[in-house]
Amino acid sequence: MAGKIVLCRCEDVTLSDLEHSVSRGYRDIEEVKRYTGFGTGPCQGKECLAVVALQLARITQQHPSAIPPFTSRPPLAPTPLKLLAKDPGAHRFADETDEGED
């Protein structure tokens, strides 16, 4: 098969990149993540973790269940709640009634 096989679309990590990282001695999914950068894009591994783990298991001849998921971490700077609460109307339920209306 010609061309590259992309495992992580966010960070453009290919099967070749994964194979190279294993050849350099990185056999743990955390090490592979740090070496290749997979799982650090906008999807935070939701799209690529399973694919990379399966390929890592194949390359290292392990059972897929032997490869635990990587540790997810919160954003470097948390989102202030006031940014999520700007629209007071968005926090009302459809069946709520206003007090004072009779």
pLDDT tens for residues 16-75? 999 999 999 999 999 999 999 999 888 889 999 999 999 999 999 999 999 998 887 776
The set of residues, in sequence order, having a beta carbon less than 8 Å from that of 80 and lying 6+ positions away, is none
Please give the pLDDT value at position 92.
65
pTM of the model as a whole: 0.68
For residue 84, give the amino acid letter: L
Strand ranges in the chain using DSSP code E only, listed in sequence order: 6-8, 13-14
| Location of structure tokens 């940014």 | 83
Domains of the chain, start order: 6-91 (1.10.10.1100)
Please give the pLDDT value at position 43.
87
Whether the pLDDT of residue 100 is over 60: the answer is no
The per-residue pLDDT for range 9-29, each reduced to its tens digit, is: 999 999 999 999 999 999 999
